Chains A and B, each alone.
Chain A
Amino acid sequence: MSFFEAFLNWNVFVQTLPLLISGLTITISLGLCAIVLGLAGGMLLALLRLYGPTPLRQIATAYIDIFRAVPLLVLLVVVYYALPFVGLRFTPFTSATLALSIVSAAYSAEIFRAGIEGVPKGQFEAARALGLNAFRRMSDVILPQAIKLVIPPITSNSINVFKDTALASVVAMPDLLKQATQAQALAANPTPLISAALIYIALLLPLVRLVGIFERRLAAKGR
C-alpha cells in the first residue's frame, strides 16, 4: 500500500466521513459542556477559597488540591466503572462531562484565584469605601478586571479540556476518536484516524494562536 492509499485514501475518507461527523458533534458538545461547567465550578471554588467561611474554605482548598493530583483518565474510569457498584450509574456522556468538569474546575479555580489576587489592593479599597456590598464589589469591580487578566491561561485550560475529551473514548463514548478507530477497523485503513487528527488540529490551532495574541496584548499593556 502506498503512503497515499494508506493514510490519505479519498474513498475511505468519503465513506467514513458521516461517522466522523457524528463523533465530532459529540466531541464538541462534550467539550463545551465540560468547559462551561468547569469555569462555573472553578469561579465558585476560587471565591470560596478566598472568601468562604473557614470550613468551606478548607473544603475548597482540599478539592482543588485533590483534583489537580488525580489523573483524569483514572477519575473517568472510577466514575464510569466503579460508581455503578454503589448504585451511581451514569451514561458515558454524563460520566465524561463529570470527570472533565470536576478536574477543570480545580485548575480554573487556581487561575481565577491568581486573577483576583492580581487586582490591585486599591481597587478593593475603593469599592469598599463606596459602600458596595460584597457581591457588588466582586461583580462590578473585581471580577471584570480579574477575568481580563486571566483570559490567556483560561483559554489555554479550555483547550486542554477540549483535547482531553478524547479520553472519553475509553468509556465507550462515540466521540471523534472512538468513531475514527471504529471507522479504521471497518475500512481496514488508517485514513479516518489521520482525518480525526487533522480535525482536532483544525479546531484547536486557531485557539492556540489566539492565546498567544491575548498574551502579547496583555504584555503590551504592561500589567
Chain B
Amino acid sequence: MAAIIDMKAVTKNFGGFRALDGIDLQVAEGEIVVIVGPSGSGKSTLIRCINQLEEHDSGTIKVDGHVLQKGADLNAIRTELGMVFQSFNLFPHLSVLRNVALAPVRVRGLSWPEAEARARKLLERVGLKDQIEKYPAKLSGGQQQRVGIARALAMEPKVLLFDEPTSSLDPEMVGEVLDVMQQLAKTGVTMIVVTHEMGFARKVADRVIFMDAGRVVEQGLPETLFDAPCDERLKSFLNAVLSH
C-alpha cells in the first residue's frame, strides 16, 4: 500500500499551545479519511500542515514521496493538494468561471480557453452550469462552496483536503455540498475531510480518525468507531454530537 500522505511524529505549537502532539498518519492513495474531534483538537491544523499553510515544528511529512522541508518546491507540491476551506475563500474580484480557471492557467500553463472549458465541465458537475458568469458575492453559501470544490478539482490534484467545508453553511445548504463530496468519493480521488457531519463520515469514510488534544486517539472503520468506541473521550464526544 503506497501512502500518498505520510506523517511521522509531527508536532506544531502556537505559542505555548500544543496543537499537534506527535501525529503519525498514513493515508493510502484513493482512501477517504474523515477526521472528527472536539474544537481545538488539532484537526484543522493537521490538514493545514499537509499543504503547509501551517509549518510544522518537528517530525516529517511526505506528500507523494516529497518531504515537506525548507527548500522544497512547495508550490509544486501544493498543486497536488486541492483544498476546500470553511469560509470558501473564493476570489471576489473574479467571476465563478475565472475563479476555477485561474490556477490551471497560471500554474499548469493551460490557455484560457482550455482552462475555461475544463472549468465549465467541473461547474456543470457540481450543478452550477447557470452561474458561471456571476461573481461569488451573488451566490448562496452552498453554491460558493461548490465553486470552491470545483476550483480545487480544476488542478486535478491527487489529494483533496476539506477543512470543515459545511461548518459555515446554513443548514439547508449542507446537503448540496455533502452530495457533491459523496459523488467525488466515488471517483477514486484521495480525500481527507475534517467535519462534524457524522452521517457523512459513516456513509463515505473508509476510515474515521478521532483526534483530541493534538493526538490521534482512536481510528478505524466508521461502524467500529461510531458503534463500538473504546476511548472514554470518544464516547463522550459521540454522546455530545449524536445526542440531539
Binding site for B on A (CB under 8 A): 120, 122-123, 125-126, 128-133, 136, 140-141, 144-145, 148
Q: Determine how close the nearest CB of chain B comes to the CB of A130; give it in whole angstroms.
A: 4
| Docked complex Cα distance between A141 and B89 (Å) | 11
Given A125-B53, A136-B106, A140-B102: A130 touches B151 (CB 8 Å cut-off): yes
Least Cβ–Cβ distance between B17 and chain A, in angstroms: 19
A130 and B93: CB pair below 8 A? no
Q: When the two chains form their complex, are residues A131 and B75 in contact, meaning their CB atoms are under 8 A apart?
A: yes
Contact B107 A132 (CB under 8 A): yes
Tell me if B87 counts as interface (CB < 8 A to partner A): yes
Whether A141 and B53, one on each chain, are in contact in the complex, defined by CB atoms closer than 8 angstroms, is: no
- B interface residues, how many (CB within 8 angstroms): 25
User: What's the least CB distance linking B50 to chain A, in Å?
Assistant: 10
A173 to chain B, nearest CB (A): 40
B155 within 8 Å of A (CB atoms): yes
A-B contacts besides A125-B89, A126-B90, A129-B53, 12 pairs, CB < 8 Å: A122-B87, A125-B53, A128-B78, A130-B79, A130-B102, A131-B77, A131-B79, A131-B155, A133-B75, A140-B106, A141-B91, A145-B93
Instruction: Pick the residue among B77, B87, B88, B107 that contacts A130 (CB under 8 A).
Output: B107
A-B contact count (CB 8 A): 59
Q: B219 → chain A, closest Cβ, in Å?
A: 25
- Residues from chain B with a CB closer than 8 A to the CB of A148 are 93
Given A132-B103, A145-B92, is A122 in contact with B85 using a C-beta cutoff of 8 Å?
A: yes
C-alpha spacing A136/B107, complex, angstroms: 9
B81 interface contact, C-beta 8 A:
yes
State which residues 139-164 of B face A: CB under 8 Å: 151-152, 155
Instruction: Report the bound CA distance from A126 to B155 in whole Å.
Output: 13
Q: Considering the chains assembled together, what is the distance between the CA atoms of A154 and B78 in angstroms?
A: 35
Q: Output the least CB separation between A129 and chain B (Å).
A: 4
User: Is B91 a contact partner of A123 (Cβ separation < 8 A)?
Assistant: yes
Contacts of A130 in B (CB 8 A): 78-79, 102-103, 107, 151-152, 155
Task: Judge whether B85 and A131 touch: CB under 8 Å.
Answer: no
B51 touches A129 (CB 8 A): yes
Closest-CB distance, A189 to chain B (whole angstroms): 54
Q: Which residues of A contact B83 (CB under 8 A)?
A: 126, 129
Question: B92 and A131: CB pair below 8 A?
Answer: no
The verdict on B2 contacting chain A, using a C-beta distance below 8 Å, is no
The interface residues of chain A lying within 8 Å CB-to-CB of B76 are: 131
Name which residue of chain A comes closest to B84, CB basis: A129
Compute how far the CA of A93 lies from the CA of B220 in the bound complex, rounded to whole angstroms.
76
* Pairwise interchain contact B81-A129, C-beta atoms closer than 8 A: yes
- Asked if residues B107 and A144 are in contact (CB atoms below 8 Å), the reply is no
- Note all chain A residues with C-beta closer than 8 A to B92: 145
Nearest-CB residue, chain A, relative to B137:
A221
CA distance A45 to B155 in the complex (A): 33
A125, A126, A128, A136: residue with the most chain B Cβ atoms closer than 10 Å? A126
Chain A residues, CB < 8 A from B152: 130
A140 to B107 Cα, complex, angstroms: 12
Q: Across chains A and B, which 9 residue pairs bring their CB atoms closest together, nearest first?
A: A126-B89, A131-B79, A122-B89, A131-B78, A129-B83, A130-B103, A136-B106, A131-B75, A131-B107
Task: List 18 contacting pairs A-B, 8 Å CB cutoff, sorted by A.
Answer: A122-B85, A126-B85, A126-B90, A130-B79, A130-B102, A130-B103, A130-B107, A130-B155, A131-B77, A131-B79, A131-B103, A132-B107, A133-B75, A136-B107, A140-B106, A141-B102, A144-B93, A145-B91
